[in-house]
Structure 1
């Protein structure tokens, strides 16, 4: 399907690997110019070169910590007019809530709530003026099904969802949409590192941990990043203008509720 976004410019945060990279790939394939981001200059430049070679798209690398206002501003400056914004960032590590001190709390909120809100603030008026905008926020399945040890991640991302819920309705008249993608267990480096840590704590192999996790997913497998990227690309498409303020959970059926 032609997504109708060829020639658009997209900023995809935290996009050198994992789900962010999968989103960048699909937007590049759809004909967008894509600004990619990672913490390391070398890694970000390499990822941009790989993505450009793979898709033939124009890909611009901007390295740095998304919590830094200067890095945020550099991302937007590299894009010029931003038509598509995909907010993404790494979450806080697993930690008992008793160990979350004030510094850790504020760092988690800055990374997973404040930074994406500021980026939305910077781009949304231009989108309204041009009568096109797509904002997708990658949060987590833990927003709907909180997990012990991910309390800070769940709280900050739920805060982002609540903050932008009203904003989404206020700009929908201008063909600007704001949606949320909630990933479950996808086959990424982050998932595998978590399995390795859990295995070390339990005295078992990572394969044992992975098998147990798969057994808890009705689909019987982990998600593929490309599946997630395709969902993101659809929400960014011209055809998705009537979808806004929604939280799309992609978890193979692991969440047992209906809402």
Structure 2
């Protein structure tokens, strides 16, 4: 399918690896010039080179922490008028709510609520003026199905979901959409760290914990990041202009609800 966005420009946050990288790659495959971001220079350089080699689009690298004002400023300076913004950031570490401290709570909210909210605030006026814009917020399946130990992540990301719900309706008439992608278990470093923690706790191996996780999913497998990237690219396409204010859960059927 031609997504109709060749020649557009996208900022993809935290895209040196994992789901962010998958989203940047799929957008590039659709002909979109991308700004990729991460804190690890070597990893970001490798990602950018791989995307350029496969797709031939312009890829700009911005090294920095988006949770800082300097990091956000550098990203926007590299692409002041993006057509597409994919918000993504690492979640707080797995930790029981009883062990959370004030500074950790503030950092989690800063990374997973304040940072994407400020980036949205910065890019929306230009999108509205140009009559095209796509914002995709990568949050978490825990927004719909809270998980023990991810309470801070769930709370911050649910807050972002609520924050953009009304904004999405305000800008929809200008062909600007805002949607959320809620990943379940995907084959990323995040899942690897969680299976390692579970293995240590249960006296098993990470492979055994990963197999148990896969078995608990109706699809009987862990998700491929490429599948997630494809969903992101579609939401950013000109075919998805009538989809806004939605949270798309991609979890292989793990969430047992109807809505």
Q: Which TM-score applies when normalising by structure 2? A: 0.98
Unpaired segments ≥5 residues, structure 1: none
Determine if the alignment matches structure 1 residue 137 to structure 2 residue 137: yes
- TM-superposed CA distance for 1:198, in Å, is 1.1
Determine if the alignment matches structure 1 residue 75 to structure 2 residue 78: no
Aligned twin of 1:210: 210
- Partners of 2:24 and 2:257 lie apart in 1 by 30
Deviates further, 81-90 or 53-62: 53-62
- TM-superposed CA distance for 1:42, in Å, is 2.6
Aligned twin of 1:201: 201
Secondary structure of 1:187's match? coil
Determine if the alignment matches structure 1 residue 226 to structure 2 residue 226: yes
- TM-superposed CA distance for 1:194, in Å, is 1.4
After TM superposition, what 4+ stretches of structure 1 lie above 4 angstroms from structure 2? none
- Partners of 2:105 and 2:222 lie apart in 1 by 30
- Partners of 2:96 and 2:41 lie apart in 1 by 33
1:1-259 aligned at under 5 Å gives the runs 1-259=1-259
Deviations for 1:175-211, whole angstroms, at most 9, x for unmatched residues?
Answer: 0000000000001122112111210121111121112
Secondary structure of 1:177's match? strand
Secondary structure of 2:82's match? coil
Q: 1:13 to 1:258 in 2, by over 3 A?
A: same
- Partners of 1:80 and 1:139 lie apart in 2 by 24
Deviations for 1:21-57, whole angstroms, at most 9, x for unmatched residues?
Answer: 0000000010011000001223222221121112111
- TM-superposed CA distance for 1:80, in Å, is 3.2
- Partners of 2:43 and 2:205 lie apart in 1 by 30
Unpaired segments ≥5 residues, structure 2: none
Q: How many residues align?
A: 259
**How well do the aligned residues superpose, as a CA RMSD in angstroms?**
0.8
Secondary structure of 1:110's match? helix
Q: Which TM-score applies when normalising by structure 1? A: 0.98
Secondary structure of 2:197's match? helix
